[in-house]
């Protein structure tokens, strides 16, 4: 074994520049693959973090406009959701899937007044279950509770952005708890402040739905229905549930059961599946791009081995003439191919992981202001050690395969032809 490595070292020393250039191609290939995967992971993680505004096992239901005539009604009739639709959603028909249900009713714009400060806002009337469905993050105080709903209390949970305006730019949000604000001629008691999601279409404040329904004489009206569910794990199951659920609501509103325009359903689970599909596509594209870069280095290894065989044809002929077996000749070429690939492959792997860590400490710590919200561009742009080592092992195997053809060519050299080689 020692003699084998000495021969490999001598061969590399005789062709330093050529070996260095080939090794650089190998190292660059795996370096780029790891950096691309790391950058892709960072972007995807940032995207998923910013897009994760709702629990994925939830649906939001809205009234629409009929697109088919039914029960004596013409096309174009508007559908308004009501308490009967809540009852249907919570009925035994869907009890195997539906968990929590929260009706939502939007009102506004309102002008909220606190001392000398004014701001325009929309009130989102809901019940306590919306807290988990919409992943509302409380900063101070509490959310709407069951007593607020039962007793029709005039309580309000402010967005942090609105709390800041009412405090004239101050951020002592806790000081607002227990204070009252006026809006629409109604005095509201502030019970909580939640983290503002500036990526949403609008910033809203939360109040009990029973209070709004009573104050504005909308006892049976519902703007939308939000509910969480379980047991629907595939696209087919979700589509069948939506079809059955939409038909039930359509029948209640005397619309065609198969009219998809009269009842709109936003299924966050299937939307999340679409997002996952998109991220998987991007990751596959990055893998393909990186592998093609890596293939360039492997081809370079095969080419240099072919050149080596051509240059050492006479040497191999002499070896065979004095008794060297074809396997011994093949072993010499394969060992040199694997050595170059392994050495420079692990160098490229190490530098790639270092580059990912540098990205994590620099770009991964940076952020930008987007709609008033601080957004990170990269989140953990790294590649796991297992993937890096696995890719490098595959690279070594590829280097072995790259050396097979040159090795077989060397093994087929006939001594008499090699000795005649000038």
pLDDT for the residue numbered 171 = 86
- Neighbour count for residue 187 (Cβ, 10 Å): 11
pLDDT at 217 over 70: yes
Per-residue pLDDT tens over the stretch 315-334? 777 777 777 777 777 777 77
Mean pLDDT, the chain, as a whole number?
Answer: 82
388 against 178, higher pLDDT: 178
pLDDT for res 371: 45
Contacts with 312 (C-beta within 8 Å, 6 or more apart), sequence order: 11, 410
Q: Where residue 386 falls among pLDDT bands split at 50, 70, 90? A: confident
- Asked if the model's pLDDT at residue 19 lies above 80, the reply is no
Q: What is the pLDDT of residue 372?
A: 47
Residues 278-295 as b or e (16 or more Cβ within 10 Å = b): ebeeeeeebeeebbebbe
**Contact present, 338 and 399 (Cβ < 8 Å):** yes
Q: What is the mean pLDDT of residues 24-30?
A: 82
Write the burial class of residue 312 (CB in 10 Å: 0-12 exposed, 13-18 middle, 19+ buried): buried
Return the percent helix, strand and coil in the chain, to nearest 5: 55, 20, 25
Q: What is the mean pLDDT of residues 207-225?
A: 88
pLDDT at residue 2, rounded to an integer: 63
Question: Pick the residue with more confidence: 420 or 248?
Answer: 248
Give me the mean pLDDT over the 89-117 stretch.
91
Identify the pLDDT of residue 139.
93
* Amino acid 224: pLDDT: 92
Mean pLDDT in residue range 241-266? 94
At residue 360, the pLDDT reads 82
Q: Which two tokens stand for residue 143?
A: 């959310």
What sign does the dihedral 201-202-208-214 (CA atoms) show? negative
Rounded Cα distance between 113 and 110, Å, is 10
Quickly count: other Cβ atoms within 10 Å of residue 230's Cβ.
10
Beta-strand pair 117-126/204-208: parallel
State the average pLDDT over residues 205-232: 90
pLDDT tens-digit profile of 114-153? 988 999 998 999 999 999 888 889 999 999 999 999 999 9
Where exactly are the structural domains of the chain? Answer: 2-52+273-420, 58-270
pLDDT given at position 417: 62
Q: Find, among 341, 374, 386, 379, the residue nearest to 360 by Cα.
A: 379
Residues 6+ apart with CB under 8 A from 252: 84, 85, 88
For residue 74, with 0-12 CB atoms within 10 Å meaning exposed, 13-18 middle and 19 or more buried, which class applies? exposed
> Which pTM value belongs to this model?
0.65
Q: Which of 10-24, 150-164, 191-205 has the lowest mean pLDDT?
A: 10-24
Q: What is the pLDDT of residue 10?
A: 65
For residue 205, list its beta bridge partners.
123
Measured CA to CA, the distance from residue 255 to residue 228 in angstroms comes to 25
User: For a pLDDT cut of 90, what percent of the chain falls above it?
Assistant: 35
d(C-alpha 301, C-alpha 341), whole Å = 7
């Amino acid at each position: 074994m020692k003699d084998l490595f000495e021969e490999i070292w001598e061969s590399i020393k005789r062709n330093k520049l050529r070996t260095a250039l080939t090794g650089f191609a190998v190292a660059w290939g795996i370096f780029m693959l790891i950096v691309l995967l790391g950058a892709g992971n960072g972007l995807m993680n940032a995207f998923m973090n910013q897009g994760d505004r709702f629990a994925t096992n939830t649906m939001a239901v809205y009234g629409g406009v009929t697109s088919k005539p039914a029960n004596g009604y013409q096309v174009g009739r508007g559908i308004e959701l009501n308490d009967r639709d809540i009852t249907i959603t919570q009925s035994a028909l869907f009890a195997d899937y539906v968990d929590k249900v929260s009706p939502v009713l939007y009102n506004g714009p309102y002008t909220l007044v606190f001392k000398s400060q004014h701001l325009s806002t929309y009130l989102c009337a809901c019940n306590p279950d919306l807290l988990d469905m919409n992943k509302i993050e409380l900063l101070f105080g509490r959310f709407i509770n069951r007593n607020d709903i039962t007793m029709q209390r005039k309580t309000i949970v402010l967005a942090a952005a609105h709390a800041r305006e009412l405090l004239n730019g101050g951020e002592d949000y806790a000081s607002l708890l227990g204070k009252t604000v006026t809006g629409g001629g109604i005095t509201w008691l502030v019970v909580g402040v939640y983290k503002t999601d500036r990526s949403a279409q609008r910033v809203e404040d939360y109040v009990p739905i029973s209070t709004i329904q009573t104050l504005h004489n909308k006892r049976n009206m519902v703007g939308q229905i939000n509910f969480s569910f379980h047991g629907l794990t595939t696209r087919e199951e979700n589509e069948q549930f939506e079809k059955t659920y939409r038909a039930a609501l359509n029948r209640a509103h005397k619309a065609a059961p198969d009219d998809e325009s009269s009842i709109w359903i936003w299924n966050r689970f299937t939307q999340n599946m679409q997002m996952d599909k998109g991220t998987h596509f991007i990751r596959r594209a990055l893998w393909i791009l990186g592998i093609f870069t890596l293939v360039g280095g492997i081809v370079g290894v095969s080419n240099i081995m072919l050149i080596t065989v051509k240059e050492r044809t006479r040497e191999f002929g002499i070896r065979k003439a004095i008794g060297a077996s074809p396997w011994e000749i093949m072993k010499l070429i394969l060992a040199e191919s694997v050595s170059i690939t392994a050495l420079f492959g692990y160098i490229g792997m190490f530098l790639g992981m270092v580059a990912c860590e540098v990205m994590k400490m620099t770009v991964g710590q940076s952020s930008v202001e987007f709609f008033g919200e601080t957004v990170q561009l990269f989140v953990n742009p790294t590649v796991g050690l297992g993937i890096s080592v696995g890719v490098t092992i595959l690279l070594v195997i590829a280097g072995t395969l790259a050396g097979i053809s040159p090795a077989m060519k060397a093994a087929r050299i006939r001594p008499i032809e090699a000795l005649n080689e000038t």
